[in-house]
Chains A and B, each alone.
Chain A
């Protein structure tokens, strides 16, 4: 069992603020790191899949970085909007198995 940890557990920010979350995972035998966005009453949707140390990916105002040597990934949201309110999950993929963190719940206050 791989221990994937996410912090903080929850976060409230004002509209327009920038914010970031952390996902930590065991650095040995790294395969891939996934980020998913999970809105209430919906199913998780993929944001990024990263495989290489130093990877940086961006989608609009959301970006992510990856450090496989020390076992962490950051997710950044620039200029948060109310529609960014969701739970953000990370998952460590080891071959055909995925190990999810408990997520960071983001609430953006208008």
Chain B
């Protein structure tokens, strides 16, 4: 149980385009999902907390107009990187909070974004 999927697993796009990444909880409902960014050989940095039906809460220094987060249902959150630039290239990982199972975050497999 507690499986989280992400799509796509890899994406390459041109500078200036927008990219949407999906995060789904497959076998449970997640009222809260989290988006992280991970640079090579570094730890995970929380970008934002996404609550179903409400606006996301962004961490300090994260541009909310650049990283659009939508959590329209209890099983789906999306991260859209708008007007992507090469410096946005990174590994993006989502997690979903599981209530009633020790209140733990379960992570998706990640999405590798490369902006040319």
Partners in one complex: no
Chain A: residues with CB nearer than 8 A to chain B?
Answer: none
Which B residues contact A (CB, under 8 angstroms)?
none
